[in-house]
A and B are shown apart, each in its own frame.
Chain A
Amino acid sequence: MGLAVAEVVAGGNRLGRNRARAGILLLVPAVLVVGGFIAVPIGQAIYYSMTNWNGITAQWVGPSTYAALFKNPIFLRVLENNGLLLLSVPVAIGVPLVIASMINEKVWGWRIFRSLIFLPTAISWVVIGIVAVRVFADPGALDSILGAVGLGFLQRDFLSQPGTAILAVGLTFVWSMVGTNTIIFLTGMSTIDPAIYEAAAVDAAGRWAIFAHITIPLLKRYFQFSFVLTIITAFTALFSLIFIMTGGGPNYGTTTLEFFIYLEAFSVGNFGTGAMIGVVLLVILLGVSMIQLWLLRGEH
């Protein structure tokens, strides 16, 4: 103990060495856990993606496995489903943006609205999926609404056809992103200096002009964050939702990359293919992050 004081007073190499030793020691748990359960498996996934692994034995095939994967019509179908989900991303950002700007008007009870709209964020995709199945079934809540507004000819079991099933998954996804994205935009709006709005009011700027020319440009960072988060959620967080709502069907109509990994590895037993799709998914997500970094760089 006395030594430590002397070291601090003296400073120099001894102190630096001690600090380095303490630092390395304190990093050991995190490095072991993250290394053993994330870094090593991702290395294995890359290696085994080029083999015909069945979980026990594996023969080396080489990078040609990837070429074969991209010729597999089911895989292309799955990629297309991811593309279709991507179409819902602007909606999953735009709707919460409107809601956030309405809450930001601070009408009577806005704090309660904020809390209640954020509440579904706490419940699991399994629970959301269980309810969503009954909303999109026939008869279901959506069918009742369609009938009530005179669109009865659209009534159907939405989960029984590939096209409408992916639409149902996408709508449920948009619904469940509302809370998170609304909070992100509200956080952004709270950072905007009220003096700017006051100046706009002095200039008699309308609500829409203020929104389009002041709020939106000042929220740029928050748009980027919400954009990346929404894509990552669409591509990696919908497993439970798909599992409950459709099981990936009908006819692979709602199987996305993350669900295809599960099907290939744990239903069919093609562990190598499962690992390979995992690598493809990771590369896509890294691409999205690169785009974001590049956008941020352009800004500074």
Chain B
Amino acid sequence: MSARSQGTRLARQAGPEASGVGYPGPPSRFSRFIRELRADPARGAIFLFLVAVTFVMLYPFYFMVRNSLMSSQQYVVGHGFSTSSWSQLFSALPVLRELGNSTLIAFFAILIILFCSTTAGFAFAKLAFRGRGIVFIAVIGCMMIPVQSIIVPEYVNLSHFGLINTYASAILVYGALGTPFATFLMTAYFRGLPDEVVEAALCDGLTYGKAYWRIALPLAKPALVTVIVLQFIQIWDDLLVGLLFLQEPTNRTITVGLAALSSGRVVSIPILMAGAIVSALPAIVVYVVFQRYLITGMTLGINR
């Protein structure tokens, strides 16, 4: 009973902070949580529920880290600690080479996507001409076409031009697959820019091309970051295109390399887990740094 009244007093002490007078900082936030808990115990259950959900969502990360820190023998018996898998990883998988391949392919594919989507987006949003609507629907409509529906002719076409097992094939295909959605996003963004911005640039003597390059493009930075982040994660994590178009161990991406390691006949789980961590890390870093842009891009389609 006395403990409870003490708690109430503590909660009351935290009171001024809520009304904006007192001291900021984490302790007061926590004590507000305690006070809320007293007023409404269900919030405690909600908190515990979210802890449980978070545990389930993070389990794979725990699993990968824990098992990568064992030797193959330790994995079999289920306990122990060793960093041997990490040193063996680099001989089992050309990790650095594959990370480099992934980076190079993602970089040039994203360049293609940015160039095509910003030019087209600017034209669709700001440069009226006859037939624009139909071209818009045709380009954006390609968003609906899944890669599996075109992959067979794509493969035959690219092998016809001798591009299978070259970086160019993967770069071109990723570039094309990312362009429709990026164009949709850039068009929406440029439509949000007032027409006066472009007109003012023309009055200053700029051509349309220069208005695009010097005025519209610098203003579109947030949208550009959104496209880069979304496409980077998409390309980095993709398997199918890389699997078909980059079949040599020297030119394949880290995701393809990991899949190959996983389906190999003799596979050491701890080494595989170490490889999985290495392959996942870049995308996770991008996610952590640019989370806000990722969410913007993902939810953009809702209100249209």
* Residue ranges of A at the interface with B (Cβ–Cβ < 8 Å): 1-2, 4-5, 7-8, 16, 18-20, 22-27, 29-31, 33-34, 36-42, 44-45, 48, 55, 99, 102-103, 105, 107-110, 113, 115-131, 134-135, 141, 175, 178-180, 183-184, 187-188, 207, 221-222, 225, 232, 235-236, 239-240, 243-244, 247, 257-258, 261-262, 265-266, 271, 274-275, 278-279, 281-282, 285-286, 289
Nearest 9 CB-CB pairings of A with B: A23-B127, A37-B176, A124-B237, A22-B208, A20-B129, A30-B120, A108-B33, A122-B287, A278-B149
Provide the residues of chain B in CB contact with A179, threshold 8 Å. Answer: 57
In the assembly, what is the distance between CA of A105 and CA of B43, in Å? Answer: 8
Known: A4-B206, A37-B172. A102 touches B50 (CB 8 A): yes
Which residues, 72 to 102 on B, are CB-close (under 8 Å) to A? none
In the assembly, what is the distance between CA of A285 and CA of B17, in Å? Answer: 53
**B302 adjacent to A221 (CB under 8 Å):** yes
**A122 adjacent to B152 (CB under 8 Å):** no
Of all chain B residues, the one with the shortest Cβ separation from A113 is B50
Known: A41-B153, A124-B255. A33 touches B240 (CB 8 A): no
**B144 adjacent to A286 (CB under 8 Å):** yes
**A30 adjacent to B116 (CB under 8 Å):** yes
* Residue ranges of B at the interface with A (Cβ–Cβ < 8 Å): 29-30, 33, 36, 42-43, 46-47, 49-50, 53-54, 56-61, 63-64, 67, 112, 115-117, 119-120, 122-124, 127-130, 132, 135, 138-139, 142, 144-157, 159, 172-173, 175-177, 179-180, 183, 199, 202-203, 205-209, 212, 233, 236-240, 243-244, 255, 258-259, 262-263, 269, 272-273, 276, 279-280, 283-284, 286-287, 291, 294-295, 298-299, 301-303
In the assembly, what is the distance between CA of A105 and CA of B258, in Å? Answer: 40
**A281 adjacent to B146 (CB under 8 Å):** yes
Of all chain B residues, the one with the shortest Cβ separation from A247 is B263
A-B contact pairs, 19 of them (CB 8 A): A18-B208, A26-B123, A27-B119, A27-B123, A30-B139, A33-B116, A45-B153, A102-B50, A108-B30, A124-B255, A126-B255, A126-B259, A126-B276, A127-B64, A127-B258, A130-B258, A244-B262, A261-B148, A281-B149
Partner of B29, one of A103, A108, A183: A108
**A131 adjacent to B255 (CB under 8 Å):** no
Known: A20-B129, A24-B129, A29-B116. A187 touches B295 (CB 8 A): yes
**A184 adjacent to B302 (CB under 8 Å):** yes
**B302 adjacent to A187 (CB under 8 Å):** yes
**A278 adjacent to B202 (CB under 8 Å):** no
**A130 adjacent to B50 (CB under 8 Å):** no
**B132 adjacent to A107 (CB under 8 Å):** no
In the assembly, what is the distance between CA of A16 and CA of B127, in Å? Answer: 9
Known: A19-B128, A102-B46, A107-B46. A117 touches B298 (CB 8 A): no
Of all chain B residues, the one with the shortest Cβ separation from A47 is B153
In the assembly, what is the distance between CA of A235 and CA of B61, in Å? Answer: 26
Provide the residues of chain A in CB contact with B298, threshold 8 Å. Answer: 180, 183-184
**B interface, over-half SS:** helix
Of all chain B residues, the one with the shortest Cβ separation from A123 is B280
Of all chain A residues, the one with the shortest Cβ separation from B57 is A117
Q: How far is the CB of A16 from chain B (nearest CB, A)?
A: 8
**B148 adjacent to A124 (CB under 8 Å):** no
